[in-house]
Amino acid sequence: MLKLEKKRGTITVDDEVIQNIVSSTAGNCFGIAGMEAKNATEQFWDLFRKDNGDKGIKISCENNQIYIDLHIMVSYGINIPAITDSIVHKISYNVEDATGFPVKKVNVFVDRVNTK
């Protein structure tokens, strides 16, 4: 959770808000065929979950800086280094623009290539 003390009060931003911004941004990025589970536990619980908006996204906040891990599946034939650079820039910009807090690092993990 991010917290900013101001003269007139405190501003807090929950990790879930950042996760929603990242999910929305990633869904609109060219080349992403889907999100992948972060680990085996998440993959198991996805069998029972209806809403997978947070699938493949891990947010951590330290010293009012945001760290994002994103696990994705890309479309076959996509230039992976180019598309991941684009994703990093779009997510960093959108999260910083919406929250006002700096994004320290965005890690994009390509877990699978969709050949269909």
For 26-45, how does the pLDDT look when each residue is reduced to its tens digit (9 = 90+)?
Answer: 888 888 877 766 666 655 55
CA atoms of 55 and 34, how far apart (whole Å): 9
Q: Could you give the domains of the chain?
A: 15-114 (3.30.70.1350)
Please tell me the distance from the alpha carbon of residue 63 to that of residue 44, in angstroms, as a whole number: 32
Q: Give the pLDDT band (50/70/90) at residue 55.
A: confident
Averaged pLDDT for residues 97-115:
92
Reported in sequence order, the residue ranges of the chain that DSSP labels E, i.e. its strands, are: 2-6, 9-13, 32-35, 57-62, 65-75, 103-114
Indicate whether 70 pLDDT > 90.
Answer: yes
Output the average pLDDT for the chain. Answer: 85
Q: What percent of the chain has pLDDT over 90?
A: 53
